């Protein structure tokens, strides 16, 4: 186990966590951004499996949220408003009339306090941030801790914890774009995804939830037995069309499986599993990723990565019977997501 720390030209701290197998995770204190994850293919070749900018300073804007912690509320909040305990809260709009991923002053664009740690079989970084009452329009002083832990089982464990002094809205996730082909050799269209989800949330033309849940049966959204991402890209289903020919949808997990998601890439032999105590996930197939961003290995293009944003549902602020994002003043927010990398 090893941890290396360097200062970037921007003055940020850049951490490199390496386990006993050579797997490496790199991250910044700025936005808690994961910049690189190196894992072996079936031949033992270590390659990067996430999208990241070639130039570190490009993360300062980061319109695609590459690798970042997103919050206070990850996802879209309709009309950038919500009501809570008789009050109406107006948030910063940053996607048309709507509020996306915590707004322009969200967690993805703050420098987090960091504390690296190391044990016999783990290495990691604890990140903390104090968000003041009214920041971005949200009520409450919120103290948040996100801990990245790398184990010798090739697990990347993300632990999220938060408290607030006023009841508020909060659901935090990580916005890494995964590509298991290695060093962005291919798009993710042939990634084979299995997901423990019976329902997904219908979207309108602005990608805002309508309040309706759709049974995945007999649709390109049925990943229970596994299917390629290309199925949704090539689909004529109205919901795939709305997402610009792909997926940008919230899937509600069924509670029968501990392992919620499994992703396989046949050429490299890499496999990633996702375990979480979150109630659902946004699966986003980078349908809005524009060409021309200079990434570490190549320029960006549509379908180059897939995000698995485990979280509760922002739709719960406007519709009933969705996983709630409300955190009470006397509660502690505690969530965990584990990404494990294996070889087939």
Q: Give the active site residues.
A: 175, 309
The phi, psi pair for 290, rounded to 5°, reads -80, 160
Q: What angle do CA 321, 324, 328 make, to 5 degrees?
A: 135
Rg (CA), the chain: 19
Which DSSP string corresponds to 78-102? Answer: GGGEEEETTEEEEPPP-BTTBEETT
- How many CA atoms are closer than 13 Å to the CA of 74, on its beta-carbon side? 26
Which DSSP string corresponds to 257-268? Answer: -SEEEEEEETTT
What are 161's strand-pairing partners? Answer: 145, 334
Residues 6 or more apart whose Cβ sits within 8 Å of residue 218: none
How many CB atoms are located within 10 Å of the residue 260 CB?
A: 26
The phi, psi pair for 247, rounded to 5°, reads -130, 135
Among 249, 270, 267, 290, residue whose Cα is nearest residue 178: 270
Torsion-angle region of 326 (φ positive above 0: left; ψ -120 to 50: alpha; else: beta): beta
Buried-exposed string 45-66: b where 16+ CB fall within 10 A, e elsewhere: eebbbbbbbeebebbeebebbb
Give the residue ranges of DSSP H helices in the chain: 230-233, 238-242
């Amino acid at each position: 186990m090893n941890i290396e720390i360097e200062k970037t030209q921007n003055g940020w701290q850049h951490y490199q966590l390496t386990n006993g197998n050579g797997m490496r995770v790199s991250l910044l204190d700025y936005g808690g951004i994961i910049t690189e994850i190196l894992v072996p293919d079936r031949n033992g070749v270590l390659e990067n499996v996430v999208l990241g900018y070639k130039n570190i300073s490009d993360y300062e804007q980061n319109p695609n949220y590459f690798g970042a912690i997103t919050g206070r509320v990850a996802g879209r909040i309709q009309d950038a408003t919500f009501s809570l305990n008789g009050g109406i809260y107006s948030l910063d709009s940053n996607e048309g009339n709507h509020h996306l991923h915590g707004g322009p002053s969200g967690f993805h664009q703050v420098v987090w306090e960091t504390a690296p740690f190391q044990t016999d079989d783990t290495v990691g970084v604890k990140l903390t941030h104090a968000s003041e009452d009214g920041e971005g329009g949200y009520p409450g002083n919120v103290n948040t801790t996100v801990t990245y832990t790398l184990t010798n089982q090739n697990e990347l464990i993300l632990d999220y914890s938060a408290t607030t002094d006023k009841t508020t809205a909060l659901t935090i996730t990580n916005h890494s774009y995964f590509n298991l082909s290695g060093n962005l050799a291919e798009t993710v269209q042939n990634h084979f995804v299995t997901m423990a989800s019976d329902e997904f949330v219908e979207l309108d033309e602005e990608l805002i939830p309508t309040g309706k849940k759709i049974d995945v049966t007999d649709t390109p959204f049925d990943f229970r037995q596994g299917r390629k991402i290309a199925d949704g890209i090539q689909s004529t289903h109205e919901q795939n069309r709305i997402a610009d020919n792909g997926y940008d949808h919230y899937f509600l997990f069924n509670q029968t499986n501990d392992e919620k998601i499994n992703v396989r890439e046949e050429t490299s032999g890499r496999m990633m599993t996702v375990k979480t105590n979150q109630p659902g996930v946004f699966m986003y197939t980078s349908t809005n990723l524009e060409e021309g961003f200079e990434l570490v290995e190549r320029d960006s293009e549509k379908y180059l990565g897939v995000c698995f944003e485990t979280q509760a549902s922002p739709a719960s602020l406007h519709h009933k019977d969705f996983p709630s994002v409300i955190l009470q003043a006397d509660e502690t927010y505690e969530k965990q997501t584990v990404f494990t990398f294996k070889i087939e």
